[in-house]
Amino acid sequence: MSLHVVCGFGPAGAATARLLAEQGHEVRVVTRSGGSPEPGIEHVALDATDSARLIETARGAAAIHSCAAPPYHRWASEWPPLAASVCAAAEATGAVLVMLGNLYGYGPVDGPLTEDLPLAATGPKGRVRAAVWEQARKLHEQGRIKAVELRASDFFGPGVTDGGHLAARVMPRLLRGKPVSTLGNPDAPHSWSYLPDVARAMAEAAADERAWGRAWHIPTEPPLSTRDMVARLATHAGTAPITVRRLPPAVLGVASLFSPLIRELTEIRYQFDRPFVVDSRAYEAEFAVRATPVDEQIKATVAWWRERRPTAG
């Protein structure tokens, strides 16, 4: 089996690293703080923007999985050096660069999101995410690196805590039968990317050269509104019915004065105020990974949160 380097150990990085280890690969995880040893996973304390050290760490790797991300409010300043470093490592080592992307680069779109849409975002976070992929794509076209981007919608599932809209703000209260509050319109159709499917697509794309040189949408189940997802989760948990309340704009406005995260969400509020639907048929037509059926997603997510409930707040 091969060596895979995973930059970042948030929900997606951890899921990808653990899946690769389960598949028998040697896995080296790069984070600033390092981590505790796990079977099949070596943790390396390294700032991934240090390209010289990242290159040495990735020598001999078949793939570099770029799953790290700067703090939300520092994307504009910290994404460019991080992207430049992982591209430099891919070029120096010959490893395939597998980039975990999102959908911000498209900006607001009427209708389903497909990979052939222009990257027309006007906000700073959308522009920087588009620029990160464009840099890698151009290097790929020049023959300097091998690169692919897998684009996900909002993460959902076991292992997703603070980063997901159906995570720490919702699940602990839902399991106690309490009302939950949500951003945007709770009845707008929304696509959710199930975390194990993200990891499976990252691993599959790394190994199949047909995927390289372009961006793909990670296989995703048909959209469900936040209200529908909460209802399904609560029904499986045995706590239904759960009241779902929309956070008033005035509350968000006040919260944004004190929270950089809430303040930064203003740019992407459109994703929750209106339908936000991912079309992943292009990937599904070419490769083996399929989205996990939503009922299985719900069952696994409730079970995971119940296991950690004593510390879930």
CATH code (residue 92): 3.40.50.720
Q: What is the Cα Rg of the chain in Å?
A: 19
Per the CB < 8 A criterion, the answer to whether 297 and 219 are in contact is no
How many residues are listed for the chain in this entry?
313
| Residue 136: count of CB within 10 angstroms of its CB | 26
* Amino acid in the structure at residue 22: E
In a domain, 11, yes or no: yes
In this structure, what are the phi and psi dihedrals at residue 274, rounded to the nearest 5 degrees?
-145, 170
In a domain, 172, yes or no: yes
The helix (H) or strand (E) run that includes residue 58 is helix 51-58
In a domain, 283, yes or no: no
Query: By C-alpha distance, which of 140, 183, 153, 170 is closest to 273?
Result: 183
Per the CB < 8 A criterion, the answer to whether 231 and 241 are in contact is yes
Query: By C-alpha distance, which of 231, 239, 240 is closest to 295?
Result: 231
| CA dihedral sign of residues 74, 75, 76, 82 | positive
Same structural domain, 253 and 171: yes
The CATH number of whichever domain residue 229 belongs to comes to 3.90.25
Query: Cis peptide leading into 37, omega within 30 of 0?
Result: no
- For the chain, give percent helix, strand, coil, nearest 5: 45, 15, 40
Q: Chunk the chain into consecutive blocks of 10 residues (it has 313) and report each block's average pLDDT, rounded to whole numbers.
A: 96 98 98 92 97 98 97 92 98 98 97 97 95 98 98 96 82 96 93 98 98 98 97 98 87 68 79 96 98 98 88 45
**pTM for the model:** 0.95
The residues that bridge with 246 in the sheet, in sequence order, are 182
Q: How many domains does the chain have?
A: 2
In a domain, 282, yes or no: no
- What are the structure tokens assigned to 178, written together? 């309490």
In a domain, 183, yes or no: yes
Select from 166, 201, 217 the last residue of a domain.
217
Same structural domain, 51 and 166: no
Residues 6+ apart with CB under 8 A from 56: none
Res 313: pLDDT? 43
Measured CA to CA, the distance from residue 119 to residue 25 in angstroms comes to 34
Same structural domain, 63 and 176: no
- What are the structure tokens assigned to 113, written together? 């999101």
Which three-class secondary structure state does DSSP give residue 299?
A: helix
In a domain, 114, yes or no: yes
Measured CA to CA, the distance from residue 146 to residue 140 in angstroms comes to 5
Same structural domain, 103 and 231: no
In a domain, 303, yes or no: yes
Res 164: pLDDT? 60
Same structural domain, 100 and 240: no
- What are the structure tokens assigned to 54, written together? 């990242």
Same structural domain, 110 and 185: no
In this structure, what are the phi and psi dihedrals at residue 180, rounded to the nearest 5 degrees?
-125, 155
Query: By C-alpha distance, which of 24, 299, 266, 268 is closest to 126?
Result: 268
User: How many CA atoms, within 13 angstroms, populate the side-chain half-sphere of residue 299?
Assistant: 5
Res 312: pLDDT? 45
Res 291: pLDDT? 98
In a domain, 232, yes or no: yes
Same structural domain, 235 and 93: no
Query: By C-alpha distance, which of 140, 217, 196, 207 is closest to 4?
Result: 207
Same structural domain, 166 and 253: yes
Select from 217, 232, 265 the last residue of a domain.
217
Same structural domain, 85 and 161: no
Select from 171, 202, 217 the last residue of a domain.
217
Same structural domain, 18 and 131: yes
Same structural domain, 175 and 266: yes
Same structural domain, 228 and 272: yes
In this structure, what are the phi and psi dihedrals at residue 99, rounded to the nearest 5 degrees?
-100, 130
Range of the domain at 66: 3-155+192-217
